Each structure stands twice: as C-alpha cells, then as structure tokens.
Copies of this chain bind each other. A is one copy, B any other.
C-alpha cells in the first residue's frame, strides 16, 4: 500500500499555504474489515449482517462511520501530508458521512488547506485548518470533515 519511493519531507507550519491540496490513497475496504470493526466498536445489525442490513435504513451492509473516519486517518498518515511532529488534530468543526462505505469500495481522500495562522500562546507552533474529503471509487463523497491541526514552526538556527 505504501509507496516504495522516498517518503515526502516533513512539513513545518511555514510550508503550508491556503489552497494547497494533498491527495491520499487509494485503499480498498473489504466486507471482513467492515464486519470486524463493527463487532469491536459499533455492533449494530447494519454493520454486521447482510440480511439485517438490507432491512435497515442503509439498504445493505455499510461500514460504521467511525470506521470510515479511522480508514481516512490511515490514508492521511500513509500519504504525503506529513506535518512535522505528526498529525495532531485539536478539534473538528464539522464531520459528516454523506453516504455509506460498502464492501469492496475503494477509498481515496483529498485534504485542502483552508487557513494558516500562528498560535497566540506558543511561538514555536501554529495552526492550520484543513478540509479532508473521502471519496469512493465513483468519486462520491463518503465523509467530509474540517479540522484544526497543530504544526510546529521551522526551528530557527539559534534553536537547533
């Protein structure tokens, strides 16, 4: 799943600008993964059993929304976003699942940098506001969130 080429360099706060778009994925999701996640974290019939799912609002087996969120995190961590210090989400202003993820779907995601601002309290880091949209293989959105991430500022020569 991960690429064999050199990993992208870590990015500091100064490296992010509004309008940047970073692509993640793709990754296929299996029925087994959907059911395993459902059993562990969200044991509701439409995440576990085809027949029960057909009779539910989902009209067929669907991944838990939290599974979609976790899979998206994996896409982002494996991709080229790579803020220095890691992907540290401090909060989300919105999170929605416009349609379910189905067995066999192939997911990819796009992160767009919306805003870049310094931290008021900490001169060594800043905040970036990012909208990440996850799509299925038909390019239909299955998840949208807008989050705020903490990113370290590039160390000055004196601080190195």
Contacts and interface: CB of A to CB of B under 8 A. Distances in A.
Interface of A: 37, 40-46, 56-57, 64-67, 69-71, 73-74, 77, 85-97, 145, 150
Given A92-B96, A93-B93, 10 more contacts: A41-B71, A44-B77, A44-B86, A64-B70, A66-B70, A70-B70, A90-B97, A91-B97, A92-B92, A92-B95
A36 to B, nearest CB: 10
A44 B145 CA distance: 20
A42 B95 contact: no
A66 B69 contact: yes
A94 B96 contact: no
A91 B94 contact: yes
